[in-house]
Amino acid sequence: MTSSSPQTSAFSKHTQEQIQQPSTTSTTNDENPYGQMSLSARLLVFLLVPSATGLIGLFSSFLQSTRTPPEGQEPHTIDLDRDFMTPFLLGLAFVIVIGFQTGGFRVAGGMTAMERKFALSWPKAKRVRKVRRERVIVEDEDGDLDDGDDDKKDR
């Protein structure tokens, strides 16, 4: 038992030091560098992701236009509205939806501490019990039919 007492006292000294030191880790958004994205980072995400998807769509259309078409078909033409704007708008919608789902790209205390908040709240389901009434008819030894519930009233 005497050998564990120096370990216990060392542990108690360590805990006292931890209590006396000011906490360096904080989960508030002001001090946490990963708490909230800066405005420039948000603008970069809102411009970079849709622009990248639009440019990928435009590049794939360019590659399709360089192929020689089979006989009887027109060559592929590059349409800016179809090849750039549609993927750009889909990428922008994707970023906006992700922004709403994450609460403005906020991460509070890491991904594990994040609570989900849904846009719609579903109503609580009520459990309905189905009552099933059966009427049992029993035959006597005489051949007479008996309801089995002589003293009960019919409902």
DSSP the chain: -TTHHHHHHHHHHHHHHHHHSPP----STTT-TTSS--HHHHHHHHHHHHHHHHHHHHHHHHHHHHSPPPTTSPPP---HIIIIIHHHHHHHHHHHHHHHHTTTT--SSSSTTPPP--SS-PPPPPP-PPP------EE-TTS-EE-S-TTSPP-
pLDDT along the chain (155 residues), means of 10: 60 76 51 65 89 95 88 87 94 89 66 59 80 80 61 51
Structural domain for 92, as ranges = 29-116
In a domain? residue 23:
no
The pLDDT score that the predictor gives to residue 99 is 83
In a domain, 103, yes or no: yes
Q: What is the pLDDT of residue 28?
A: 45
Give the total number of structural domains in the chain.
1
Is there a domain that residue 126 lies in?
A: no
pTM: 0.47
* Residue 44 included in any domain: yes
18 in a domain, yes or no?
no
